[in-house]
Structure 1
Amino acid sequence: MSDSFTTRVLNVASGSRERVVDLTRECEAFLREAAADRDGLLNLFVPHATAGIAIIETGAGSDDDLLAALHTLLPADDRWQHRHGSPGHGRDHVLPAIVPPHATLPVVAGRMELGTWQSVCLVDTNISKDNRQVRLSFLG
């Protein structure tokens, strides 16, 4: 049985362009308060139909590589049945099937168990939506 469940919503300004937004520092700050050196699980959830959470290296070009790969897999053109919004917006609604809207990470002694180059990121390809919410929940 867990001793605690704590949750917080981050408001993320993702802007009007496709982005990979590193949330690692925000997750660490949340865990400093919520986990207090305990073991548990950190869950992130994006309550949006056109964004996801990825664990990926950032800053060395991998974030741009991810966006390029998504362009290859999900071109922003008129092939999509879902046709409201900006041109090619239907692909944004397929994104969560590839980059899921959630991630759960182990927390040991109050810290995420990430690999050396791993970061927790919001992936947002919807250029029509410039603000996102990410729910952080700690169970420990």
Structure 2
Amino acid sequence: MSLPARIVQHRFSVLTPGRGFTEISREVARCVAEAGMQAGTAHVYTHHTSCSLIITENAAPEVRHDLERYIARLVPDGDPAYRHDDEGPDDMPAHIRAVLTSASATVPIVAGALALGTWQGIYLWEHRTHGHRRQLTITLTGA
């Protein structure tokens, strides 16, 4: 017999130190544990256009360093081709970086826990050079 599905939402903020990665796996896992869901999905969404959410390697910091170096070459700050620079030379590049990555991430819930791979973590990737308070919503769907 299957259990009736339910939906639980949490909203929280993350203070970023500036461009780079902030792991949020523990916060998402805490929400799953509090909800008591055994099976389903955890969907994380950012309410901003200059940061993104990714699932990537959480053991070797070099991976995140290399991701940042790669996207910096792909989308450089201060490119004179950008017309939108209201908040400085990192403004338009931050928007492009966010579009090229994702505003959300979804992870299965299995046996009451996030079913992340051994070396996976959920990260908020700040694309602005200075810190921001980022608002996130986690939607848990399952039973």
RMSD of Structure 2 on Structure 1 (CA): 1.6
Question: Matched residues in 2 for 1:37 and 1:9: separation?
Answer: 17
Structure 1 stretches of at least 4 aligned residues deviating more than 3 Å after TM superposition: none
Partner of 2:102: 100
Q: Do structure 1's residue 132 and structure 2's residue 121 form an aligned pair? A: no
SS of structure 2 residue aligned to 1:66: helix
Unaligned runs of 5+ in 2: none
Q: TM-score, normalised by structure 2?
A: 0.89
Q: Percent identity?
A: 24
Unaligned runs of 5+ in 1: none
**Structure 2 counterparts to residues 1-140 of structure 1, below 5 A:** 3-15=5-17, 17-34=18-35, 36-60=36-60, 61-78=62-79, 79-140=81-142
- Whether the 8 Å CA contact 1:2–1:139 is kept in 2: the answer is no
Q: TM-score, normalised by structure 1?
A: 0.91
Q: Deviations over 1:95-121 (max 9, x none)?
A: 222110001111111111111100000
Tell me: CA distance 1:109–1:75, structure 2 relative to 1, closer, same or farther (3 Å).
same
Q: CA deviation at 1:58?
A: 2.7
- Whether the 8 Å CA contact 1:99–1:123 is kept in 2: the answer is no
Q: Which has the larger radius of gyration?
A: 2
State the aligned residue count.
138
Question: Matched residues in 1 for 2:31 and 2:37: separation?
Answer: 12
